[in-house]
Amino acid sequence: MFQDLHIFDVHAHFPIKGDVAMGGGGRTRETGRIDDPASQERQALRQRSLDQTRHQWRMAFDFPEPETGTRSSEEQAERWVAELDRHGLERIGFVTGRDNDELARVVAMHPNRFVGFAHHDITRPDAATELERAVTTLGLKGLKLLAPTIPILINDRSLYPVWEVCERLGIPVLSHFGMLGAAGGVSYHPNMSPAVLEPVARDFPTVDFIIPHFGIQHVTDLLFLCWSCPNVNVDTSGSNQWVRWMPYKLTLEDLFQRFFETIGPERILFGSDSSWFPRGFALRYLQDQLRICRFMNMTHDQLQLIFGGNAARIMNVPLGASQ
């Protein structure tokens, strides 16, 4: 255990070539022909700027540069188990891992420590069928979405067959809203605010929706969505450095206080957004968040809900002595 708690990190990315979190697999807007010299020059200029900003971020958090070599899924799985053991974590949820089949293969290597989310394109004609296969055949436990990559509104009726599968199978949906990517990423999209999810959350009240990173820049929208829909939860993952760019003073302490007051400890889930090595598990995020919650005088039971119990309940997996 970490301190006196059974920790379940509900939000991490399995580091494998081709995964969206490792710089592949995401959908981007076309900015010009790839063989157009002007387009290539613009992309190179943008990339240099992004690299500089990301280096500054890593320096601020004292994180090492990501390794450039590739490792097999077997190697990465063993590295992650070692990370869990080293830091006293019981479980970790990988929300991406290149594709459903590969992530399911990884989870099967350590089924008592790893949990996986389906993460395919939900606008595919066979999206609902693929989700059912991912859960009933592959053993994945939820659905992960990047709302700002979906080309239609997330509440479009054409997507309802996907939500119906989630309802029938009893699986949660973890959907990213807010700016997407590292510094210099996407900041505008019709699906940017979690408020767009309200019709879906209302129509499917038994489906648990998890919104990561405290909703990023749309804190007010997420607080009111949580107030309106008791099946909407929040995860705490990532550096949450976006608070620096808000037009009013906002800290991580403020976020915990506001969400704790609005929805209580039963709907807040710890996540780290960890992915690449050699950083591995972002222990600093866990330490910072636990410090805040302990200084808020949360009870042991409340801490256990936030840092493991809620995720275990929603994902329907054992935790602690029942494992």
pLDDT, one tens digit per residue, over 194-238 is 999 999 999 999 999 999 999 999 999 999 999 999 999 999 999
Q: Assess contact for 186 and 180: CB atoms under 8 A.
A: yes
pLDDT of 262 higher than 70: yes
Question: Phi, psi (5° rounding) for residue 185?
Answer: -80, -165
Instruction: Provide the pLDDT for residue 23.
Output: 61
Q: Is 279 helix (H, G, I), strand (E, B) or coil?
A: coil
pLDDT of 85 higher than 70: yes
pLDDT of 34 higher than 60: no
Single-letter amino acid, residue 61: F
Instruction: Provide the pLDDT for residue 183.
Output: 60
Average pLDDT, the chain: 92
Instruction: Decide yes or no: CATH 3.40.190.10 for domain 7-27+34-322.
Output: no
Q: Assess contact for 97 and 19: CB atoms under 8 A.
A: yes
pLDDT of 13 higher than 70: yes
Percent of the chain past pLDDT 70, that is, above it, reads 93
- Residue 273 and residue 242: Cα distance in Å, rounded? 14
What six digits make up the tokens of 173? Answer: 């949906």
- Residue 136 and residue 139: Cα distance in Å, rounded? 6
pLDDT of 77 higher than 50: yes
DSSP letter at 250 equals: -
- For the stretch 121-142, pLDDT in tens is 999 999 999 999 999 999 999 9
Whose structure tokens read 């063989």? 35
Confidence (pTM):
0.91
- For the stretch 140-166, pLDDT in tens is 999 999 999 999 999 999 999 999 999
Residue whose C-alpha is closest to residue 139's, from 163, 175, 114, 157: 114
Q: Assess contact for 101 and 79: CB atoms under 8 A.
A: no
- Residue 258 and residue 220: Cα distance in Å, rounded? 10
103 or 31, higher pLDDT: 103
Mean pLDDT of 184-200: 92
Percent of the chain past pLDDT 90, that is, above it, reads 78
Render the burial of 227-239: b for 16+ CB within 10 Å, e for the rest: eebebbbbbbbbb
- Give DSSP secondary structure letters for 86-148: HHTEEEEEEEESSSHHHHHHHHHHSTTTEEEEE---TTSTTHHHHHHHHHHTT---EEEEEGG
